[in-house]
Structure 1
Amino acid sequence: MTRTRITAAVAGVLLTAAVVLSGCSAGGDEASTSGAAAPQNDSSGSGESKEGTTDGKAAPGTDGAGGAAQQPTVTRAIIKTGSLTVEADDVDKQRQAAITVVTGLRGLVASEDTGGDADGKITRANLVLRVPTASYETAIQRLSVLGVRTAIHQESSDVTEQVVDVDSRIGSQRASLERIRTLLAKANTIGEIVSIETELTRREADLESLLAKQKALADQTELATLNLLLVKKNGPVPQDVVKNDTGFVAGLKDGWNAFTATFSALATGVGAVLPFAILFALIGVPIWRFRNRLRRTPGPVPATATATAGSGLPKHPDGPDEA
């Protein structure tokens, strides 16, 4: 009986232990499963984090690109100038063709100077053309085919900083004027009013000067300036397009030209003075000789002079001296 109870007690203990162990095993499995799942979730989360990081990197790039797109793009302000010399068979015809080219490019003729021969035909035309800066190269190409291009010169100047500076100063000056006007509205005494109005006038003048400078820069940057010289083919080359040569031969030519120019000037002066010299010789020389002759002829001796001279002689007595 006692052994049966002991056996039953041992069996109960073993059963209880088995139940506890199975529960612990199940908990360990669940923990293990949970632990395995957690890294997967972490991995998933890490994937999302990486994706988020990738998106984050893309986002700054996108933001950077968006920021670059949102920032005002600074357009370079370029002043372009040039000169072009073209020889043509018919200068007047090509002059009209050049005007047509410029007006077709929405440009204009700023000034025009022409010269002709004895028959009245135009042999030289100097045109100052203004064309949009974007069409400057196109204008050069179209004008060059009007004849034989013999010379070309081009220059460009970047004035972007000047344009930005003037625009900024104009904005500051306008804000300053608004503050001055506000102070003028609040002024109470005559002295304050006079002082503020004087400052207001000065700043308005500064603003007008800045606006004029802004307008000039806008005109120069929006329209390029091109000096077109059309000359008759095989005709005399205008003085303003003769090239400046250097070297010994060029110096010799310049010296000879200076010598001949000086000699020509002297000859011109002598020719201008010669008629007056001849007239002076015909009239002045006889008068000069007559005056010299008068100076050489002795005049009559005055009687008083003779008497005075005689009174100075010693007197001799007529009779002998008395003892």
Structure 2
Amino acid sequence: MRLAAVAAVVLALAGCTSGSGGSDSGSSGGGIAVDGGKAPDGGVASGGGQPVVGEAPESADGRDVVVTGYLSMVADDPLRAADRARGVIEQAGGRLDGITKEPKSEYQDASSQLIARIPSERLDDTLDDVEALGSVQSLSTSANDVTQQTTDLDARITSLQSSVDRLRQLIGSATTTADLIAIETALSEREANLESLTAQRDYLADQVDYATMTIAFTTPAGAPDAPPTDFWGAVVAGFSALLSALGWTLIAIGAALPWLVFLALLGALALLIIRLVRRNRRPKPTIETPPAAS
């Protein structure tokens, strides 16, 4: 009887947890009610007054927003500008997730690129400081509202945490080995799910807290030319493009010329071999001897 009772409790907890984890559609209507529903301030009640694991601060209007963007700039020294931009970002409390530096060479101009993580609340001020390091070519940003995702994750984490706590209490009251194994199996499964959801929530919180900006620096020579704005400007641009195309065509022909000569020699040799083979295969003429005179 005790084993049946423990199994019934475990199954009940499983049904409660799976119901919370699979109710994504219910969260779209203002959040999932867990242990008393939503808190008075509009957030998800954590049940028992405990804070939600991995909860990120909301924006000023109560939304969680992931901001990404791209900033292209021209600087006389792109490598030095990248170092200075790194200092500005770190001083603002941000960090770099990646950096690329390409010094000037015979085949390319100097350039650099940063993958910057900037605190969202200081994004505008930090970009203003970075823009002072050169001339802005282009700037674009986009925002993705993930409030529903964070609300759903918070509710599922809270529900799983309550389930884990109850299972831990049941371990102490288990009287048989079968009861203990059943409870520990259910507990291990829920702890694994809880860790996975917490990792997802922490990653999403980091994306909300820190905007991701790709910052590229090039030299004035490496920057793209401005498009023409009048007829004669378009004529000059077209003529320059024609000359550039002809120059690259001549370079391509020069690079391919040795190969063309080599292929021509191979073709001539193959043709000579074919002619010799055909000549050898021709039947030799037979000489008929005249009949002897009688």
**Under a length normalisation based on structure 2, what TM-score does the superposition of the two structures give?**
0.60
The alpha-carbon deviation at position 278 of structure 1 amounts to 3.2
Q: Across the two proteins, how many residue pairs are aligned to each other?
A: 216
Pairing 1:85–2:69 present:
no
Partner of 2:203: 216
How far residue 268 of structure 1 moved from its aligned partner, in angstroms, is 10
- Over aligned residues, Cα RMSD in angstroms? 4.0
Could you tell me how far 1:284 is from its partner in structure 2? 2.7
Distance 1:82 1:149 in 2: 14
Question: Could you say which residue in structure 1 is the equivalent of 2:263?
Answer: 277
Structure 1 runs not aligned, ≥5 long = 1-69, 244-248, 302-323
CA distance in 1, matches of 2:254, 2:108: 32
Residue segments in structure 2 that go unaligned for 5+ positions in a row: 1-38, 44-57, 228-233, 288-294
Greater RCO (CA < 8 Å, at least 6 residues apart): 2
Q: Which whole-Å deviations, capped at 9, do the CAs of 1:155-190 have from their partners, x for residues lacking one?
A: 122222322221221111011123334445526354
1:236 aligns with 2:211: no
Aligned partners of 1:82 and 1:152 also within 8 Å: yes
| Cα displacement string for residues 134-167 of structure 1 (whole angstroms, at most 9, x for unaligned residues) | 1111111111111211211111222223222212
* Residue aligning to 1:286: 272
SS in 2 for 1:227: strand
**Are 1:91 and 1:122, in contact at CA under 8 Å, matched by a contact in 2?**
no
**TM superposition score normalised by structure 1:** 0.55
**Residues 227 and 279 (structure 1 numbering): CA distance in 2 closer, same or farther, change over 3 Å?**
same
* Residues 109 and 225 of structure 1: CA distance in aligned 2, closer, same or farther (over 3 Å): same
**How far apart, CA to CA, are the structure 2 residues paired with 1:122 and 1:289?**
55
Tell me the alpha carbon deviations over residues 64-83 of structure 1, each in whole angstroms, 9 at most, x when there is no partner: xxxxxx94476332222222
Q: Which structure has the highest helix share of the two?
A: 1
Q: Which has the larger radius of gyration?
A: 1
Query: For the Cα contact (< 8 Å) 2:65–2:147, is it kept in 1?
Result: yes
Q: 1:289 to 1:122 in 2, by over 3 A?
A: closer
**Which residue does 2:100 correspond to in 1?**
113
Equivalent residues in 2 for 1:55-70, closer than 5 Å? none
The answer to whether the 8 Å contact 1:77/1:159 transfers is yes
Say which SS state the counterpart of residue 84 (structure 1) adopts: strand
Distance 1:288 1:92 in 2: 62
Q: Decide whether the 8 Å contact of 2:89 with 2:95 is kept in 1.
A: yes
SS at match of 2:110: strand
Matched residues, percent identical? 26
| CA apart distance, 1:96 | 2.0
**Matched residue SS, 1:128:** strand
Q: Which SS does the other structure have where 1:92 is aligned? A: helix
